[in-house]
Amino acid sequence: MKQRVPLVTHIFTADPSAHVFNDKIYVYPSHDLEHDGEDDDDGSEYQMEDYHVLSLDNLDADCVDNGEALNMKDIPWVDKQMWAPDCVCKDGKYYLYYPARDKEGIFRIGVAVSDSPVGPFKAEPDYMAGSMSIDPCVLQDDDGRYYMYNGGLWGGQLEKWQTGSFVANPDEIPADAASLGPYFAELSDDMKSFKNPPKMVSIVDENGEPIKAGDEDRRYFEGPWMHKYNGLYYLSYSTGTTHYIVYATSTSPEGPFTYRGRIMEPVIGWTTHHSIIEYHGKWYLFYHDCEVSGGINHRRCVKYTELKYNADGTIQTIFPYDHK
C-alpha cells in the first residue's frame, strides 16, 4: 500500500471524499489552482473551478486521474470557488454534491448527475433550494435513507445564517456561547432536494453540555464527514484554527453528538479535511496536506492512511508524519 504519499502530483488536490463503488475506490477532491494571490480568512486563495475524479482499482494500484468531471462554466448559477464535493450512488446513478458561490457571493450547494462514478456530471440548472454554506457530505444509511451534512465557519459563511437568513455582517459569537454545528437534512427521493429544511446539529461534551464557541480544540469549524461503525454514527470534522480532525458519536443520524477525541494531529498547511471508508475489512482515512508545496495553503495533495479503532469504539489518534 502507498500510504501517506500523494495520490497524484500532476495537479494539486484537496478535501478528498472517498467512496467504494463496485469494489473500487473513488476519490472526489477539490482541485487547487496554482496562483500567486494572498491568503485571507475568507479563503480567497482557494480559487477552484472544476473537479477531477481519482480512482484506484485497489490500494496497491496506481491512482488514475479520470479527467475533468465538471466545470463551473457549465453551471448557470455558479460565480466562483467550487470547493469540497461529495458523491453518492443511488439506483445506478451517481450524484455529485458541491458548494460554490452564486452570483451574489453566497455559498450554496449544487448537485450534478452521471451514469458513471467518474463522470462527466451534468449539473442541475440551479442550486438546491434551502442550501447554504460549504462542505457537503452525504451518508447512505443502512435503511436506504440519505442524509446531508454541511457547513463551515469564516469563508464558509456558517455564522451568517444564524437567523435563518443570510446576514452579511453578523455579530461575533461569544466564546462562552454554544458553538455552531453543521447543518443536517434528509434528501428527497430524487436526491436533488431536501425533505425538510436543514437544521443545525448539536455537538456536546461528556456531560451533555454544548461545546463552546471558544473551545477551539473541540468545536466544529468545517469539513464534516459521517460514517457508521458497529451501529454508531461517527461525525468527524476539522477544528479549523487548531488544525485537528476530531470526532463525536451518536445513536441517531441527527444527533446530538458527543465529543470523543482526536483522529488526526495537524498536517502541514492551514486546512485539514478528510473522509473515512472501509475497504476489504480495514478502515482508512483520506486527507490532504501541503508537504509537496512546502506549506503553500492552496497547493495541497491528497493522501491516505489506515485508521484503527480501540475495543471500546474510540479511534486511535493518527500522527501524520510518524512511521511514514
pLDDT in tens, 72-88: 999 999 999 999 999 99
Q: Is-above-0.85 flag for pTM?
A: yes
For residue 286, the enclosing domain spans: 12-307
Say which range, 32-41, 78-87, 118-127, 309-318, has the weakest mean pLDDT: 32-41
Q: Is residue 151 one of the residues assigned to a domain?
A: yes
Per residue in 263-283, is it b (16+ CB within 10 Å) or e — as a string?
A: bbebbbbbbbbbbbbebeeee
In a domain, 280, yes or no: yes
Q: Which of 45, 135, 222, 291 is catalytic?
A: 222
CA-CA distance, 181 to 200, in Å (whole number)? Answer: 6
* Mean of pLDDT over the chain: 96
Residue bearing the bigger pLDDT, 230 or 47: 230
Order of strands across the sheet that contains 183-186: 137-140, 146-150, 183-186, 199-200
What is the distance between the alpha carbons of residues 159 and 213, in angstroms, rounded to a whole number?
11
Residues forming a β-bridge with 166? none
- Domain assignment of residue 196, yes or no: yes
Any domain includes 281: yes
From CA 67, how far away is CA 121, in angstroms rounded? 12
Phi, psi dihedral angles at 156 (to 5 degrees): -80, -5
Please state, in angstroms and rounded to a whole number, the distance separating the CA atoms of residues 104 and 121.
Answer: 24
User: How high is the pLDDT of residue 323?
Assistant: 65
Burial 186-203 (b: 16+ CB within 10 A, else e): ebeeebbebeeebebbbb
What's the start-to-end Cα distance of the chain, in Å?
12
Known catalytic membership, residue 15? yes
Query: Would you say residue 242 lies in a domain?
Result: yes
CATH number at residue 151: 2.115.10.20
- 14-45 pLDDT, tens digit each: 999 999 999 999 999 999 998 877 778 788 88
Q: Looking at the domain assignment, is residue 153 inside a domain?
A: yes
The tally of domains found in the chain comes to: 1
Spatial separation of the C-alpha atoms in residues 127 and 63, rounded to whole Å: 31
Q: Is the pLDDT of residue 324 over 60?
A: no
Cβ(29)–Cβ(15) below 8 Å: yes
CA distance 236 to 231: 16
Cα–Cα distance between 175 and 162 in angstroms, integer? Answer: 16
Grid coordinates belonging to 281:
475489512
Q: Is 222 annotated in the active site?
A: yes
Among 15, 32, 135, 291, the active-site one is: 15
Instruction: Provide the 3-class DSSP secondary structure of residue 180.
Output: coil
Sign of the four-CA dihedral 20, 65, 224, 303: positive
Residue 16 falls inside a structural domain:
yes
